[in-house]
């Protein structure tokens, strides 16, 4: 495991907290999965770039490492502890919030 992959693993493991702020409780599971996938791509690209391993295979490996770390951390820790779902609810927009913003 190189530096880019190690950083992708670390950042990917804490990513569910950031993802929970973005996700809304009313969104479908595929929509939430898409947010996780996009976050993993950004994490993988960023960690590969900053580690100086911004080449084809290294970038893909970093993206996949971040994705697996995020899914594992969410299902293994953040969801069972209810931390991510509570954070998701706490940062969700209600209809009145949306109406006020418009």
Please report the pLDDT score of residue 86 as a whole number. Answer: 93
DSSP state of 2: -
**pLDDT tens, 32-90?**
999 999 999 999 999 988 888 777 788 899 999 999 999 999 999 999 999 999 999 89
CA distance 67 to 37: 7
* pTM exceeds 0.75, yes or no: yes
Burial 39-51 (b: 16+ CB within 10 A, else e): bbbebbbbbbeeb
Residue 99 has pLDDT above 60, yes or no: no
Domain boundaries of the chain, sorted by first residue: 3-94
């Amino acid at each position: 495991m190189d530096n880019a992959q190690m950083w992708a693993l670390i950042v990917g493991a804490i990513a569910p907290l950031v993802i929970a702020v973005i996700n809304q409780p009313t969104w479908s599971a595929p929509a939430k999965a898409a947010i996780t996938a996009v976050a993993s791509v950004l994490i993988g690209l960023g960690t590969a770039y900053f580690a100086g391993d911004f080449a084809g295979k290294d970038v893909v490996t970093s993206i996949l490492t971040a994705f697996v770390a995020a899914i594992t951390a969410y299902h293994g820790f953040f969801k069972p502890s209810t931390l991510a779902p509570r954070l998701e609810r706490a940062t969700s927009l209600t209809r009145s919030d949306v109406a006020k913003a418009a």
